[in-house]
């Protein structure tokens, strides 16, 4: 594999609010489920520290759940609440900072993607805007106003804790068909009150979460919103069909205080709409004027759902196409998932042209914290 194009643009610093990154490489949030009882320990600490030592500019942690009984679906997914879990996170922040890196937690509530009777709180029913799964099964009553308020408060509490622990910002998980996205999407949000309606008014839940987080973290603490057109089921789902609709969808989120949009796609080179090569991050930046993060098969030849669905691995490929887009300033930051999961030194190897040493991604790698 040859890396033909200079990678210099990837190693330019980036600043926003109180956060300065040494380069444009972001570690994508990846659930690892190595935190028994929701508490991230030293193995998780070393996993993130290694990426910071080897030149990742910004680490977005794996999804870490807010303080709500139905937020999680796996007892090994880290909590972002409770003394022990927060102590674990504080140590991780300290060691990543010592290594010269920056780190933000991805704050998560799974909504109705949680099965009935699942741990860690089997007695808690899944919650969603209309109590519906992506397939349309009713698993609970629609969330009440009180429940909505509690979840908003739990996100805000997590944001306040992130700041107190020394994190460099927060990312709200508004993608992939989880709770926030369930409010965005027409199939899971059938509400007739002000949290439902059309694709613009369905942003209201996210807007209130962003506003509540902003109130507690102040103006200079970056809030990133991750969103996606696709859902885990089905992948073909879309929130909006045209650039005009995307503009209308994003506008309330910008007004609420999002600093950076993390635009989740499976292949970064795919145009979002006909008639322009721009991808979702490209369109989002063009329409909002906000910095964006792109993601999806960077440095790999196979997209990541084939790993979940079929256990497929992926081979390393060059990032010439990515660099050309970055140089055109289509987006500002690039998130790398599996290539960094398997190889803590991915960023350093790319920087130094050691591409022959890159490690291919395998399903086996997902079972270990390298």
Ligand X SMILES: Cc1cc2nc3c(=O)[nH]c(=O)nc-3n(C[C@H](O)[C@H](O)[C@H](O)COP(=O)(O)O)c2cc1C
Long-range contacts of 145-152 (CB under 8 A, 24+ apart): 148/195, 148/205, 148/208, 150/68, 151/66, 151/68, 151/109, 151/127, 151/179, 151/209, 152/205, 152/208, 152/209, 152/212
Report in angstroms how near the CB of residue 30 gets to ligand X at its nearest.
4
Report in angstroms how near the CB of residue 146 gets to ligand X at its nearest.
27
Of 126-134, 171-179, 230-238, 348-356, which segment contacts ligand X by CB under 6 A?
A: 171-179
Of 27-35, 48-56, 86-94, 318-326, which segment contacts ligand X by CB under 6 A?
A: 27-35
Can you spell out the DSSP letters for 188-214?
A: T----STT-SSTTGGGHHHHHHHHHHH
Residue 152's nearest CA partner among 179, 134, 189 is 179
178 is catalytic: yes
Asked if 159 is part of the footprint of ligand X (rule: CB under 6 A), the reply reads no
Report in angstroms how near the CB of residue 333 gets to ligand X at its nearest.
13
Asked if 78 is part of the footprint of ligand X (rule: CB under 6 A), the reply reads no
By C-beta, is 96 or 281 nearer to ligand X?
281
Which candidate in 48, 79, 178, 227 is catalytic?
A: 178
By C-beta, is 23 or 297 nearer to ligand X?
297
* 65 within 8 A of 72, measured Cβ to Cβ: yes
Give me the 324-363 binding string for ligand X, x by CB under 6 A, dash otherwise: ------------xxxx------------------------
- Cα 45-51-53 angle, rounded to 5 deg: 95
* Residue with smallest beta-carbon separation from ligand X: 337
Secondary structure (3-state) at 289: coil
Report in angstroms how near the CB of residue 101 gets to ligand X at its nearest.
17
Euclidean distance between CA atoms 175 and 127, whole angstroms: 16
Residues binding ligand X: what is the number (CB under 6 A)?
A: 24
Secondary structure (3-state) at 215: helix
Half-sphere exposure of 143 (CA within 13 A, CB side): 25
Asked if 316 is part of the footprint of ligand X (rule: CB under 6 A), the reply reads no
* 156 within 8 A of 213, measured Cβ to Cβ: yes
Euclidean distance between CA atoms 300 and 318, whole angstroms: 8
Can you spell out the DSSP letters for 293-323?
A: EEESSTTBSS-THHHHHH---B-B---HHHH
Binds ligand X (CB under 6 A): choice among 3, 44, 45, 62: 62
Asked if 229 is part of the footprint of ligand X (rule: CB under 6 A), the reply reads no
By C-beta, is 93 or 341 nearer to ligand X?
341
Asked if 23 is part of the footprint of ligand X (rule: CB under 6 A), the reply reads no
Report in angstroms how near the CB of residue 130 gets to ligand X at its nearest.
23
Euclidean distance between CA atoms 71 and 76, whole angstroms: 13
Asked if 297 is part of the footprint of ligand X (rule: CB under 6 A), the reply reads yes
Binds ligand X (CB under 6 A): choice among 9, 35, 106, 130: 106
Euclidean distance between CA atoms 338 and 31, whole angstroms: 11
Of 127-135, 170-178, 205-213, 238-246, which segment contacts ligand X by CB under 6 A?
A: 170-178
Euclidean distance between CA atoms 260 and 262, whole angstroms: 6
Asked if 90 is part of the footprint of ligand X (rule: CB under 6 A), the reply reads no
Asked if 173 is part of the footprint of ligand X (rule: CB under 6 A), the reply reads yes
* Residue partners of 360: CB distance under 8 A and separation at least 6: 313, 314, 315, 316, 342
By C-beta, is 173 or 191 nearer to ligand X?
173
Binds ligand X (CB under 6 A): choice among 16, 28, 104, 210: 28
Residues that bind ligand X (CB under 6 A): 28-31, 62-63, 106, 173, 175-176, 226, 264, 295-298, 300, 304, 307, 336-339, 366
- Indicate which residues carry an active-site annotation: 178
């Amino acid at each position: 594999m040859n890396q033909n194009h200079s990678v210099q643009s990837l190693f330019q610093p980036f600043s926003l609010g109180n956060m300065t990154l040494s380069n444009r490489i972001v570690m994508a949030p990846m659930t690892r489920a190595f935190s028994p009882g929701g508490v991230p320990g030293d193995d998780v600490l070393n996993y993130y520290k290694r990426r910071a030592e080897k030149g990742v500019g910004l680490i977005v942690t794996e999804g870490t759940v807010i303080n709500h009984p139905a937020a999680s679906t796996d007892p090994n997914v880290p909590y972002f609440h409770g003394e022990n879990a927060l102590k674990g996170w504080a140590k991780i922040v300290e060691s990543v900072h010592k290594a010269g890196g920056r780190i933000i937690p991805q704050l998560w509530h799974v909504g109705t993607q949680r099965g009935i009777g699942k741990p860690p709180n089997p007695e808690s029913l899944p919650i969603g805007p209309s109590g519906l799964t992506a397939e349309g099964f009713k698993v609970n009553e629609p969330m009440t106003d009180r429940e909505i308020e509690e979840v908003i408060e739990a996100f805000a509490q997590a944001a306040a804790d992130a700041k107190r622990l020394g994190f460099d910002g927060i990312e709200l998980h508004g993608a992939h068909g989880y709770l926030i996205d369930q409010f965005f999407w027409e199939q899971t949000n059938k509400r007739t009150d002000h949290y439902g309606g059309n694709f613009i008014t369905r942003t209201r839940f996210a807007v209130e979460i962003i506003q509540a987080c902003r109130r507690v973290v102040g103006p200079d603490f970056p809030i990133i919103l991750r969103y996606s057109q696709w859902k885990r089921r089905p992948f073909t789902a879309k929130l909006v069909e045209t650039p005009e609709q995307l503009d209308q969808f994003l506008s309330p989120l910008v007004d609420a205080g999002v600093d950076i949009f993390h635009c989740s796609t499976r292949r970064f080179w795919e145009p979002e709409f006909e008639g322009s090569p721009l991808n979702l991050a490209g369109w989002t930046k063009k329409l909002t004027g906000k910095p964006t993060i792109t993601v999806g098969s960077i440095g790999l030849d196979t997209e990541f759902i084939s790993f979940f669905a079929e256990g497929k691995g992926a081979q390393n490929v060059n990032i010439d196409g990515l660099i050309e887009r970055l140089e055109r300033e289509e987006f500002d930051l690039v998130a790398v998932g599996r290539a960094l999961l398997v190889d803590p030194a991915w960023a350093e190897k790319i920087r130094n042209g050691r591409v022959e040493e890159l490690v291919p991604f395998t399903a086996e790698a997902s079972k270990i914290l390298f």
